[in-house]
């Protein structure tokens, strides 16, 4: 069995990095749409779940931008130099998820305290239904590349895509229940349901857990 030369290994890694670039560009494009539609429709319907979903999309945008920066660093200055940038990228992603979790808790508590309800949003429902398969595809591809490249930052970004997919399912369920029973508290309670996902994935990204230590 032949062993790949160092030059071939570098070329293979460069190809995978370019694949990761395309995944991040797709993420940037979709998250721009998702952030705009979710935030605008959420504000219009006074829906915390949709607004939180929109903010999560903004965090995904930031995470994708950080990953583009990290991958650019590796291409220009090499893998070893990129590892320092990668740790910073992972912590930034984790910190952003913590901020979103805190926002959701405070906002949900306020809405429950003041008995503020939300209206049903058809654009929000359509957006979240579309987000489920898109996030599923992006997360699978990112996780596969993260495994091969041994990248904690790319794994953290993939995990955020998974979280976004779960959030979209929560929002879909909340909007359907809201349409069905019309209870004022549905939106606030549903928004609290996403906090566990945000904290769990935020802790993983912040601690910089190794995702494929054998690759280092």
DSSP letters, 112-170, are: HHHT------HHHHHHHHHHHHHHHHHHHHHHHHHHHHT-HHHHHHHHHHHHHHHHHHH
Domain map (residue ranges) of the chain: 6-215
Q: Domain 6-215's class?
A: mainly alpha
Token output for 162: 């998974």
Coil/strand/helix, residue 212: coil
pTM of the model: 0.78
Return the DSSP state at 208.
T
User: 10-45: per-residue pLDDT in tens?
Assistant: 677 778 888 888 998 999 999 999 999 999 999 999
- Band (84; pLDDT cuts 50, 70, 90): low
Q: Which two tokens stand for residue 166?
A: 């779960």
Q: What is the pLDDT of residue 211?
A: 42
State in Å, rounded, how far the first CA of the chain is from the last one: 22
């Amino acid at each position: 069995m032949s062993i790949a030369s160092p030059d071939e290994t570098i070329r293979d890694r460069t190809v995978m990095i370019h694949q990761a670039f395309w995944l991040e560009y797709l993420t940037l494009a979709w998250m721009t749409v998702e952030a705009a539609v979710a935030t605008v429709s959420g504000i219009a319907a006074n829906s915390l779940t949709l607004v939180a979903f929109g903010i999560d999309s903004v965090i995904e945008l930031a995470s994708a931008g950080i990953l583009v920066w990290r991958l650019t660093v590796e291409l220009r200055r090499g893998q070893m130099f990129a590892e320092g940038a990668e740790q910073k990228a992972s912590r930034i992603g984790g910190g952003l998820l913590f901020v979103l979790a805190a926002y959701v808790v405070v906002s949900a508590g306020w809405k429950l305290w003041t008995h503020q309800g939300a209206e049903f949003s058809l654009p929000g429902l359509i957006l979240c239904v579309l987000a489920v398969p898109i996030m599923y595809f992006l997360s699978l591809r990112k996780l596969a590349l993260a495994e091969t490249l041994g990248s904690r930052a790319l794994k953290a970004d993939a995990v955020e895509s998974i979280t976004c997919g779960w959030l979209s399912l929560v929002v879909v369920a909340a909007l359907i229940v809201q349409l069905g029973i019309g209870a004022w508290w549905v939106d606030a309670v549903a928004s609290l349901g996403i906090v566990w996902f945000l904290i769990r994935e935020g802790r993983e990204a912040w601690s910089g857990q190794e995702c494929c230590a054998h690759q280092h």
